[in-house]
């Protein structure tokens, strides 16, 4: 705590105006004293000697008689070994321990240590006495789950330091001194295995920021092939309620080619959070065969916290992601849903009496969203390793209207757009990403020309489908009807995926390339069918043969048998591959 004190002069919802005497900084943490409790808040605006604070608790009972104590510290999280597998609220309080302390209804004013202060970790020094180090450099390691956790010099240390003393290998608690550093002025600094870092300040302790190029494989065919995401990239998943955003996030977090998954449930207070908390500990990690929670951190709001905590959840999540990125790990941050965060900003902006922007959102909505997503990226560390933070945010526009401000502000800064469709969701076409509206700026795992050819077939088929709704099937030529059947075939056998099946729910890149090649051959072929009923029967059989193959383990005897049946069906109908596709497939070899 500092000597700066304050007194509450006004209360407006969860915003409190405080007159102070001394020095106060923006984003500084202060505690309002009420009913024998200290309620945590953050300074969001300063006017003269009056500070507006957003309080992260219910403000019942706060009056002009209440005093405020300022800490001098910015809103921060504690980083160190022991984060993985934890479930936190937006202020990094461990929810299981809060529940033990308070029961079903969490008490306000209760703040618990984010990390276990009594657990001992097996520390192994990697730096020697006399070595020169800087902020972010590793001085030792401890094992944490399946990873080697690097103990780093705190990010707030400026300049070069000399290691004066470092402990020997052994068991230590996170707050035990493990090294003594001497700065350029000769002053000594003791460091331990944990430290705090402000959540609204990006971590920049790296050598170089790189262009995201390497695909982040999700094993969802529609994403990896048509709308890919790069490691260190950004993407958003807007869609109406019930369109499958949460299911898609669960599938991605289970199968994504990343080391660590952080879920920031910044706006979902009901079924989605309960589902996440109950399912994740039961999910098996395909990479290790152990619990997925061993490499997952969940951050979620509770019903007893006001809307301001939604913002804290997002920043807490991205700060923890940057911390593990500094160890040379690849991290995926899933924010669900940023619409709730934006609504919290709108609410607070109204209480601050700021000039509103479109739909009463604050005028700085776009810049705030951009500053969050720009903390994604892939970086080269000073030791030569690379680490990345990939950010995927869901948006819940009212009525599925993608023209609303939050969706539009997000689209301006992300690298991929996975727009969910109510029509596809109602038709049980999973994932319900609309192939016509979605896009990606990143490179696909499949050759670009082949992907574009498949897209063109799908677009033409969608046009024929729209035309048939007007003129009917009888008013459509056989050639157009076959184009429509090809687009439906592509949708059914490749774009749709059964997430509940172990084999079909996760398609490796090797399998995607192989299967997509066979899909392209079918899309680019002509068939000896004379009438529409015959064409429909043929494509139904073709689709069933292909789906049977999708459920078989890749290159197993069952897979090859299903593939043989598929080839027989094609041969029986005089399949002839077009010259355009022949050239594309030849160039792609």
Closest CA to 301 of 331, 341, 351, 328: 341
DSSP-assigned states of every residue in 353-397 = TPPB-GGG-BTTHHHHHHHHHTT-EEEE-TTS-EEEEEEEEEE--
- State both tokens at 373: 């997503």
**Residues 6 or more apart from 74 whose CB is under 8 A from it?**
25, 27, 28, 29, 198, 199, 200, 201
Asked if residues 260 and 324 have their Cβ atoms less than 8 Å apart, the reply is yes
Asked if residues 359 and 351 have their Cβ atoms less than 8 Å apart, the reply is no
Is 328 annotated as ligand-binding? no
Asked if residues 331 and 386 have their Cβ atoms less than 8 Å apart, the reply is no
Q: Rounded to the nearest 5 degrees, what angle is found at the Cα of 281, between the Cα atoms of 278 and 284? A: 125
Distance CA 26, CA 179 (A): 32
**3-state DSSP: the chain helix, strand, coil percent, rounded to 5?**
35, 25, 40
Asked if residues 367 and 357 have their Cβ atoms less than 8 Å apart, the reply is no
Asked if residues 338 and 395 have their Cβ atoms less than 8 Å apart, the reply is yes
- State both tokens at 216: 């982040």
Can you tell me whether residue 553 is helix, strand or coil?
Answer: coil
Is 40 annotated as ligand-binding? no
Is 245 annotated as ligand-binding? yes
Is 240 annotated as ligand-binding? yes
Is 241 annotated as ligand-binding? yes
Can you tell me whether residue 396 is helix, strand or coil?
Answer: coil
For residue 12, which phi and psi values (nearest 5 degrees)? Answer: -135, 95
Is 239 annotated as ligand-binding? yes
Asked if residues 38 and 51 have their Cβ atoms less than 8 Å apart, the reply is no
Enumerate the known binding-site residues for ATP.
239-246
Enumerate the known binding-site residues.
239-246
């Amino acid at each position: 705590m500092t000597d700066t004190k304050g007194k509450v002069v006004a209360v407006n919802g969860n915003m409190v105006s405080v007159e102070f005497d001394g020095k106060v900084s923006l984003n500084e943490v202060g505690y309002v004293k009420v009913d024998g409790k200290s309620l945590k808040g953050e300074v969001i605006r300063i006017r003269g000697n009056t500070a507006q604070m957003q309080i992260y608790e219910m403000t019942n009972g706060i009056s002009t008689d209440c005093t405020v104590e300022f800490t001098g510290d910015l809103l921060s999280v504690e980083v160190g070994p022991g984060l993985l597998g934890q479930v936190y609220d937006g202020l990094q309080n461990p929810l299981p321990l809060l529940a033990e302390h308070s029961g079903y209804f969490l008490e306000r004013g209760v703040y618990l240590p984010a990390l276990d202060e009594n657990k001992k970790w097996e520390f192994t020094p990697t730096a020697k006495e006399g070595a020169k180090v800087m902020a972010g450099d590793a001085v030792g390691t401890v094992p944490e789950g399946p990873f080697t956790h690097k103990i780093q010099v705190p990010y707030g240390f400026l300049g070069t330091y000399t290691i004066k003393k470092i402990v020997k290998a052994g068991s230590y608690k996170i707050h035990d001194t493990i090294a003594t550093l001497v700065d350029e002025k000769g002053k000594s600094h003791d460091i331990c295995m944990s430290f705090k870092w402000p959540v609204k300040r990006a971590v920049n302790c790296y050598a170089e920021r790189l262009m995201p190029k390497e695909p982040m494989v999700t094993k969802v065919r529609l994403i990896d092939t048509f709308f890919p995401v790069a490691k260190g990239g950004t993407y958003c998943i807007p869609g109406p309620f019930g369109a499958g955003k949460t299911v898609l996030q669960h599938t991605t977090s289970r199968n994504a080619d990343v080391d660590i998954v952080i879920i920031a449930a910044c706006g979902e207070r009901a079924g989605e959070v309960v589902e996440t908390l109950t399912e994740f500990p039961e999910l098996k990690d395909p990479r290790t065969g152990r619990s997925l929670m061993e490499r997952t951190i969940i951050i979620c709001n509770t019903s007893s916290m006001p809307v301001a905590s939604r913002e804290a959840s997002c920043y807490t999540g991205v700060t923890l992601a940057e911390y593990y990125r500094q160890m040379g790990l690849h991290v995926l941050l899933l924010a669900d849903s940023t619409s709730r965060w934006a609504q919290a900003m709108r609410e607070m902006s109204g209480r601050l009496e700021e000039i509103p922007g479109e739909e009463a959102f604050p005028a700085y909505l776009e810049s705030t969203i951009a500053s969050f997503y720009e903390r994604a990226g892939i970086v080269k560390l000073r030791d030569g390793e690379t680490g990345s933070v990939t950010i995927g945010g869901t948006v819940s526009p009212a009525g599925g209207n993608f023209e609303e401000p939050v969706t539009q502000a997000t689209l301006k800064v992300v690298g991929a757009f996975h727009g969910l469709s109510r029509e596809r969701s109602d038709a049980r076409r999973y994932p319900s990403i609309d192939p016509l509206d979605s896009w990606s700026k990143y490179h696909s795992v499949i050759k670009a020309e082949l992907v574009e050819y498949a897209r063109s077939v799908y677009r033409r088929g969608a046009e024929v489908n729209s035309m048939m709704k007007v003129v009917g099937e009888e008013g459509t030529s056989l050639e157009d009807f076959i184009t429509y059947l090809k687009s439906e075939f592509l949708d059914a056998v490749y774009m749709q995926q059964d997430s509940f099946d172990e084999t079909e729910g996760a398609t490796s890149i090797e399998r995607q390339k192989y299967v997509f090649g066979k899909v392209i051959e079918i899309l680019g072929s002509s068939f000896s069918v004379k009438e529409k009923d015959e064409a429909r029967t043929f494509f139904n059989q073709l689709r069933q043969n292909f789906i049977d193959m999708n459920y078989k383990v890749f290159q197993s005897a069952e897979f090859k048998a299903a593939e043989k049946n598929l080839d027989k069906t094609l041969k029986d109908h005089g399949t002839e591959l077009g010259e355009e596709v022949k050239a594309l497939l030849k160039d792609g070899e």
